[in-house]
Chains A and B, each alone.
Chain A
């Protein structure tokens, strides 16, 4: 009790505690994701995946991390040194901040009894939290472009250019399909969106077209396989991260999975009711489980579909996703007033 009072006395201490908590939740999530990515994908392709280190290859990730940290730090001669060095650290930061506005800290705080006033340790409950999330998601491709340009190699540069094209094509459908959910809830606060869903069906049923549009747009935004043109292994070696080695590669790898975790969590929040679920299981477990299941869906998509070409990617973005998301956004208010009239939206 003395410790709690001490922590509550200072804003910085509370922030540090929440930052550490969110980091731990997100890192565990990212580790589970990488394991699923390797093992589940391998099983779909009739391979075994990692088997040697630890039981069922579970410790392979830690072995890889130790190996990466023990590698020599180098900077290519053609690289633009400050930008080249800053991009991995910035990438981790830009992937970590969206996790702050997703209400993981609320689910962690709800594990503690009310008399400790856990509400003081929640920082994700503010009005434009969805906008902050979108802002940090939108900054990611800029880092890809910067990193690709700064590495000074042709493969990385092509990866960066493709990322720029992808960014400007899929940002609009992403925002508009999110706005369709905003029309239903009339708030930009993610916690209030989950509160609306506690009185109604999950939005994956009420707002199914927006779910499909958002799924495609978030796959492009996370650069996952049908849209992983920036890292296309078969054409561009490793795309924009070709020139990054050792710890820098490890950081970029971690950042991409943190970002995927945030993307899956936002999908769970908006369309599957976030932490809502039958009671004996704590909200944190529900939220985590939904996020991991959605990520497994991403891996399944990766295993099932081939990569699109650049022109196909732009066609899909501009000629299908943009008009469809505009049309659905204009139709959503009619659907919403029907739902409100029947009391489905609470």
Chain B
């Protein structure tokens, strides 16, 4: 039965994706492309564009990204615990969550979770 569900998810994904691509192609049958330099320029509220938009990520995202990955792993580990909490030993999950809170508390006191 699980195989059927997996096939179903892939099938639904492909179904929606193909319909989306077809819908994107429809205007090309109805309207001819008439490109002009102004039409294809990046939109900057009517000004001439200055510089490109291929810039680097702000380094400050890094601390949030690292925090996100660690917490996400904790959350994933909590899923099996949540489905069978009255049958398993709580201590490891408890420890993980408490350490998670301590980490958030430490970093927010240190000021690393401030947006600058």
A binding-site residues for B, Cβ under 8 Å = 11-12, 15-16, 18-19, 22-23, 69-78, 85, 88-93, 96-97, 100-101, 123, 126-127, 131-132, 151-157, 161, 164-165, 168-169, 171-172, 175-176, 179-180, 182-183, 186-188, 237, 242-243, 246-248, 250-251, 310-311, 314-315, 318-319, 322-323, 326-327, 329-330, 333, 336-337
A126→B72 CA distance, assembly (Å):
24
CB-based contact B20/A90 at 8 Å: yes
Q: Does B89 make an interface contact (CB < 8 A)? A: no
9 extra A-B contacts, CB within 8 A, seeds A96-B13, A186-B82, A243-B42: A18-B8, A74-B33, A76-B41, A76-B42, A78-B42, A92-B19, A318-B108, A329-B78, A333-B86
CB-based contact B42/A93 at 8 Å: no
Min CB–CB distance A325 → chain B (angstroms): 9
B binding-site residues for A, Cβ under 8 Å = 1-2, 4-5, 7-9, 11-17, 19-21, 23-24, 26-28, 30-35, 39-45, 49, 52-55, 57-58, 61, 64-65, 67-68, 71-72, 75, 78-79, 82-86, 90, 94, 97, 100-101, 104-105, 108, 113-115
Min CB–CB distance B46 → chain A (angstroms): 11
Question: Of A132, A187, A248, A323, which is within 8 A of B9 by CB?
Answer: A132
Min CB–CB distance B23 → chain A (angstroms): 6
| 18 A–B contacts from the bound complex (CB under 8 Å) | A18-B8, A69-B27, A70-B30, A70-B31, A74-B40, A93-B16, A97-B12, A172-B68, A182-B82, A183-B82, A186-B82, A246-B27, A247-B26, A311-B114, A311-B115, A315-B115, A319-B108, A333-B86
CB-based contact A126/B5 at 8 Å: yes
Q: Which of B4, B5, B90 has the most CB of A within 10 A?
A: B5
**Which residues from chain B contact A126 at a C-beta distance below 8 Å?**
1-2, 5
CB-based contact B64/A168 at 8 Å: yes
**Which residues from chain B contact A165 at a C-beta distance below 8 Å?**
61, 64
**Which residues from chain B contact A157 at a C-beta distance below 8 Å?**
53, 55
Interface of B is mostly: helix
The 5 lowest CB-CB distance pairs between A and B, nearest first, are: A89-B20, A311-B115, A168-B68, A96-B16, A153-B42
Min CB–CB distance A339 → chain B (angstroms): 12
Min CB–CB distance A95 → chain B (angstroms): 8
Question: Of B15, B45, B53, B68, which is within 8 A of A19 by CB?
Answer: B15
CB-based contact A72/B31 at 8 Å: yes
With A152-B42, A168-B64 as known contacts, state yes or no: A93 contacts B1, CB within 8 Å: no
CB-based contact B83/A187 at 8 Å: yes
Q: Which of A77, A101, A237, A318 has the most CB of B within 10 A?
A: A318
**Which residues from chain A contact B55 at a C-beta distance below 8 Å?**
157
With A100-B8, A251-B24 as known contacts, state yes or no: A183 contacts B85, CB within 8 Å: yes
Q: Which residue of A lies closest to B71 (CB)?
A: A172
Q: Which residue of B lies closest to A90 (CB)?
A: B17
CB-based contact A93/B17 at 8 Å: yes
A-B contact count (CB 8 A): 202
CB-based contact B24/A73 at 8 Å: yes
CB-based contact B72/A172 at 8 Å: yes
**Which residues from chain A contact B105 at a C-beta distance below 8 Å?**
323
**Which residues from chain B contact A171 at a C-beta distance below 8 Å?**
68, 72
**Which residues from chain A contact B16 at a C-beta distance below 8 Å?**
23, 92-93, 96-97
With A251-B20, A322-B104 as known contacts, state yes or no: A72 contacts B27, CB within 8 Å: yes
CB-based contact B67/A318 at 8 Å: yes
Q: Which residue of B lies closest to A310 (CB)?
A: B115
CB-based contact B43/A188 at 8 Å: no
Q: Which of B57, B58, B67 has the most CB of A within 10 A?
A: B67
With A69-B30, A311-B115 as known contacts, state yes or no: A182 contacts B83, CB within 8 Å: yes
A15→B17 CA distance, assembly (Å):
15
CB-based contact B20/A93 at 8 Å: yes
CB-based contact B100/A326 at 8 Å: yes
**Which residues from chain B contact A88 at a C-beta distance below 8 Å?**
20, 24
**Which residues from chain B contact A70 at a C-beta distance below 8 Å?**
27, 30-31
A77→B40 CA distance, assembly (Å):
5
Min CB–CB distance B105 → chain A (angstroms): 8
A127→B4 CA distance, assembly (Å):
13
A318→B30 CA distance, assembly (Å):
49
A157→B75 CA distance, assembly (Å):
29
